[in-house]
């Protein structure tokens, strides 16, 4: 066999990809290279096949050439990465050239006569070139991503320097000048971190970044008023305490952003989240279900130990002074039932083991179901208690009476009344902190868990800050700056209560399976709903060719979901029924893609088949030419395929393959239909607006001058930029008294 025209490389193929942009850039390349590598050894070398292989090879080579040109331009602008980037670009270009040579099979007979290697004669060389190409391209992308990280770090450093200057200012004039610079730097930092947050693949990191940016948004306003108050009343201890707390919180938030983007911690240790009850129950169920497959090894002790750890965590509910007697008794009773069912399960497992049974007995299957049901009942009760508590507190604090009383008492200079209401606010703060902790236990997803932790920390910090601001006002009741400062902190408290209400709704949505997340399809069937018998199908290991086929289908499916999502985002009416249906199909398809990677909520082929049982689309609602018939037929085929019972490894593989192929066909039609439907709807709107009365048009324009997104601060990646500009403008009107 002729030697490969591509040499070896020393790149790490296991480079971790942290962002969606890098991953989405690699997917088409992976798909094309997979097509080239995974041709059948005994493929008929027809003229059509040879042209197709050569076309794909040339496309890869041209794309790599363009890509490398961009990489080399980036290297020229960044001296510290020049050598690494240059080497990666060189290897990518060399691998692209090698692939082009190996796929140059237009005259195969001449190639074989000359002894030149081709994709048919040198499969090893093709694999080697493809591996080097993917490795080098990935490294170029990761190095380019490092530049983005450096920009964020540089922006953070500028903010920190200005923050230290702000902390040391002693005159209003100096403060106005430096805060103006600080505002501009914070706007830049907001945009950089906003883009990064949206690009992160890891949901937990996105949630942590959102929490840190929320802190910076609120603290920017607090820093302004707290600093002004300190400058107006330099000898006031409560004003100094108030200001120092804001600066400290901003530094911690800035540090957290850098930890997220660099994936490191300043102390060198990873901070692990405390295990919540929902996560513990999820893991417990996995272990219980796993007992049926572990009859030959001892694992029941781990199940029992994990259950006791879970029972211990329920003490956060039962030990709470705010849990009613009836709720406490119900939780304790459900814990006892779960212990009994688990003990019975372990006994049946040991009995099956003593009989040397090869698979779980019917008695054991029944015990597994009862144990899972009892732990689910416990989770449901804990959810009911936590959500009920949160709902009551939000209703109780909706009138903000304590905040109003603190403002009034501070304005009257009544220190005694301020102290009394401060005690009441502290009690409310403790209730909210504990409720956030309980919500964290039943949140249902790790991102929501992080949001609960952020809410808990926010209430814990802002409570004392409101009190110190009220004390300052009580000491200086005629100070407009002190009054403004207290207003800002009270607004932050009220804002966090609103955020908590949104968080509560999201937790309920997840619990009830209504979560509208594009990346997760939560309408999976419950265990046992679709199965007549209790026994599970044993896992069958796919060979390399089958795995490759499924992986390629999954990548193609992922690309189609991106197309659907991009088309959906162009629609003006995001609540339209068409959009909702397409988002459901897209989510279902993305879950299938995750399944092909061994990720996501679909754990078995049965899950995938149940996932494919989508409801037929209503043809009365979608009357767009003949494409609707194709869509309905494709849905029907998918449903029939999903419901057709099969047995054996080969049949299961064929069913998985057919399910994904049918889903891909549905997405093809959906991508074609979406822009047509969107165009027709816009046309209808335009026609309606033409016949509308001038008065109606004028009222509509007046009513939509300020959008809801603008009011909620969702109009840009910046955090509170407009509010910041308003506060900047107010600096020119500082009080003279």
pLDDT band at 682 (very low <50, low <70, confident <90, very high): low
Same domain? For 174 and 249 the reply is yes
Going by pLDDT thresholds of 50, 70 and 90, the confidence category of residue 11 is: very low
Question: Do 129 and 245 sit in the same domain of this protein?
Answer: no
Which of 365, 388, 411 is where one domain is finished? Answer: 388
Verify that 571 and 639 share a domain, yes or no: yes
Q: With beta carbons less than 8 A apart as the criterion, state whether 596 and 551 touch.
A: yes
Q: Identify the pLDDT of residue 559.
A: 67
For residue 680, what pLDDT is reported? 67
User: pLDDT per residue over 373-391, tens digit each?
Assistant: 999 899 999 999 999 999 9
pLDDT, greater one: 489 or 565: 489
Q: CA 60, CA 58: separation in Å to the nearest integer?
A: 5
Q: Is residue 419 part of a domain?
A: no
Q: What is the 3-state secondary structure (H, E, C) of 607-630?
A: HHHHHCCCCCCCCCCCCCCCHHHH
C-alpha to C-alpha distances, 96 to 56, 60, 102, nearest whole angstrom: 12, 7, 10
For residues 226 and 481, is the Cβ–Cβ distance under 8 A?
A: no
> What's the whole-number mean pLDDT along residues 534-558?
59
346 and 372 both lie in a single domain: yes
pLDDT in the model for residue 685: 53
* Residues spanned by the domain of 210: 150-262
Same domain, 217 and 87: no
In terms of domains, do 367 and 252 share one? no
The CA distance from 147 to 145, in Å, is: 5
Among residues 436, 430, 425, 496, the alpha carbon closest in space to that of 466 is found at 425
The predicted pLDDT at position 86 comes to: 85
Domain boundary among 325, 360, 388: 388
What's the CATH code of the domain at 240?
Answer: 1.20.120.230
477/286: higher pLDDT: 477
Q: Are residues 140 and 162 in the same domain?
A: no
Asked whether residue 73 falls in the same domain as residue 200, the answer is: no
pLDDT, tens digit, 9 for 90 and up, residues 497-529: 989 998 998 898 888 776 544 333 332 222 333
Last residue in a domain, options 343, 368, 388: 388
Q: Residues 548, 683: one domain?
A: yes
Residue 7 in this model has a pLDDT that exceeds 60:
no
The pLDDT > 90 percentage for the chain reads 30
The span from the CA of 398 to the CA of 498, in Å, is 9
Number of residues that make up the chain? 737
pLDDT in tens, 211-242: 999 999 889 889 999 999 999 999 999 999 99
- Whether residues 136 and 158 share a domain: the answer is no
369, burial (CB in 10 Å: exposed 0-12, middle 13-18, buried 19+): middle
Give the C-alpha separation, 300 to 345, whole Å. 9
Separate counts of helices (H) and strands (E) for the chain: 25, 0
372 vs 307: CA distance, rounded Å: 12
pLDDT band at 134 (very low <50, low <70, confident <90, very high): confident
| The Cα angle at residue 335 between residues 334 and 337, in degrees rounded to 5 | 60
651: in domain: yes
Percent of the chain with pLDDT over 70: 71
Asked if 12 contacts 142 with a C-beta cutoff of 8 angstroms, the reply is no
Residue 256, C-beta contacts closer than 8 angstroms, at least 6 positions apart: 208, 211, 212
CA distance 324 to 330: 10
Most trustworthy range by pLDDT among 135-149, 543-557, 601-615:
135-149
**Same domain, yes or no: 550 and 679:** yes
Report the alpha-carbon distance of residue 627 to residue 630 in Å, rounded: 5
Weakest mean pLDDT among 6-20, 159-173, 549-563: 6-20
Tens-digit pLDDT profile for residues 641-663:
777 777 777 777 777 877 888 78
pLDDT of residue 272: 58
Split into its structural domains, the chain has a count of 4
The residue that leads in pLDDT, 411 or 596, is 411
Top-confidence residue, 261 or 53: 261
Verify that 138 and 174 share a domain, yes or no: no
Token couple for 219: 């603290």
**Higher-confidence residue: 536 or 79?**
79
Tell me which long-range contacts 678-683 makes (C-beta under 8 A, separation of at least 24).
678/567, 678/570, 678/571, 678/572, 680/624, 681/571, 681/572, 681/573, 681/576, 682/572
Q: Is 200 helix (H, G, I), strand (E, B) or coil?
A: strand
Q: What pLDDT, in 10s, does the model give residues 605-617?
A: 776 766 666 544 4
Long-range contacts of 314-318 (CB under 8 A, 24+ apart): 314/277, 314/378, 314/382, 316/437, 316/438, 316/441, 317/382, 317/385, 317/386, 317/438, 317/441
Q: How far apart are the first and last CA of the chain?
A: 91
Predicted confidence (pLDDT) at residue 142 exceeds the cutoff of 50: yes
Backbone φ and ψ for 19, nearest 5 degrees, come out as -120, 155
Mean pLDDT over the full length of the chain: 76
Residue with the two structure tokens 């107006």: 232
| Beta strand spans in 534-666 (E) | none
User: Residue 669: is its pLDDT beyond 60?
Assistant: yes
For range 250-254, the mean pLDDT: 95
């Amino acid at each position: 066999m002729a030697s490969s025209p591509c040499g070896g490389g020393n790149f790490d193929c296991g480079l971790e990809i942290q962002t969606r942009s890098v991953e989405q850039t690699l997917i088409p390349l992976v798909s094309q290279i997979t097509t080239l590598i995974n041709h059948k050894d005994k493929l008929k070398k027809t003229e059509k096949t040879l042209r197709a292989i050569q076309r794909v090879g040339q496309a890869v080579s041209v794309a790599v050439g363009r890509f490398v040109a961009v990489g080399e331009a980036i290297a020229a602008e960044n001296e510290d990465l020049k050598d690494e980037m240059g080497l990666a670009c060189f290897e990518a270009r060399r691998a692209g050239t090698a692939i082009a040579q190996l796929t140059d099979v237009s005259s195969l007979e001449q190639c074989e006569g000359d002894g030149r290697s081709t994709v048919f004669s040198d499969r090893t060389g093709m694999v080697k070139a493809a591996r080097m190409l993917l490795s080098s391209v990935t490294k170029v992308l990761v190095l380019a991503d490092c530049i983005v990280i450096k920009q964020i770090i540089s922006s953070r450093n500028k903010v920190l320097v200005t923050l230290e200057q702000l902390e040391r200012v002693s005159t209003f004039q100096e403060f106005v000048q430096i805060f103006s610079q600080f505002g501009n730097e914070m706007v830049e930092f907001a945009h950089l971190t906003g883009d990064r947050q949206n690009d992160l693949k890891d949901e937990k990191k996105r949630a942590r970044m959102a929490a840190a940016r929320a802190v910076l948004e609120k603290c920017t306003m607090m820093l302004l008023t707290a600093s002004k108050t300190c400058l107006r009343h330099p000898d006031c201890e409560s004003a100094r305490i108030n200001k120092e707390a804001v600066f400290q919180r901003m530094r911690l938030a800035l540090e957290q952003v850098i930890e997220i983007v660099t994936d490191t911690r300043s102390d060198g240790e990873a901070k692990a989240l405390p295990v919540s009850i929902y996560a513990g129950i999820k893991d417990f169920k996995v272990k219980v279900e796993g007992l049926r497959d572990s009859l030959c090894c001892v694992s029941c002790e781990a199940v029992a130990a994990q259950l006791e750890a879970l029972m211990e965590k329920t003490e956060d509910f039962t030990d709470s002074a705010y849990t009613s007697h009836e709720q406490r008794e119900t939780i304790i009773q459900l814990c006892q039932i779960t212990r009994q069912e688990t003990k019975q399960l372990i006994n049946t497992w040991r009995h099956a083991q003593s009989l040397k049974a090869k698979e779980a007995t019917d008695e054991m299957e029944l015990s597994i179901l009862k144990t899972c049901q009892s732990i689910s009942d416990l989770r449901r009760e804990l959810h009911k208690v936590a959500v009920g508590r949160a709902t009551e507190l939000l209703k109780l604090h909706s009138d903000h009476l304590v905040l109003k009383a603190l403002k009034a008492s501070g304005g009257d200079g009544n220190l005694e009344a301020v102290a009394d209401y401060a005690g009441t606010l502290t009690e409310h703060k403790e209730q909210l902190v504990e409720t956030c902790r309980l919500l964290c236990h039943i949140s249902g997803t790790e991102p929501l868990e992080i949001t609960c932790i952020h809410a808990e920390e926010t209430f814990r910090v802002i409570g004392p800050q409101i009190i110190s601001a009220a004390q300052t006002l009580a000491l200086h009741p005629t100070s407009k700056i002190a009054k403004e400062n207290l207003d800002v902190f009270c607004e932050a408290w009220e804002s966090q209560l609103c955020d908590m209400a949104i968080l509560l709704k999201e937790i309920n949505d997840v619990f009830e399976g209504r979560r509208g997340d594009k990346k997760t399809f939560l309408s999976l069937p419950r265990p046992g709903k679709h199965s007549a018998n209790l026994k599970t199908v044993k896992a069958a290991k796919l060979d390399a060719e089958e795995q490759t086929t499924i992986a390629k289908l999954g990548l193609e499916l992922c690309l189609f979901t991106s197309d659907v999502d991009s088309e959906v985002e162009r629609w003006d009416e995001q609540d339209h029924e068409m959009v909702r249906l397409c988002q459901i199909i897209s989510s279902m398809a993305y879950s299938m893609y995750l399944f092909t990677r061994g990720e996501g909520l679909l754990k078995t082929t049965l899950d995938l088949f149940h996932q494919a049982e989508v409801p037929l689309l209503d043809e009365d609602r979608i009357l767009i030419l003949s494409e609707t018939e194709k869509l309905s037929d494709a849905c029907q085929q998918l449903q029939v395929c999903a419901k057709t019972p099969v047995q054996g490894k080969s049949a299961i593989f064929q069913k998985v393959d057919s399910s994904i192929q049918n889903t891909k066909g549905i997405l093809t039609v959906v991508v074609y239909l979406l822009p047509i439907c969107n165009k027709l709807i816009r046309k209808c709107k335009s026609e309606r607006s033409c016949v509308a009365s001038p008065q109606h048009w004028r009222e509509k324009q007046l009513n939509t001058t300020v959008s809801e997104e603008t009011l909620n601060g969702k109009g840009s990646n910046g955090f509170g930029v407009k509010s910041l500009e308003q506060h900047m403008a107010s600096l020119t009107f500082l009080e003279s008294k």
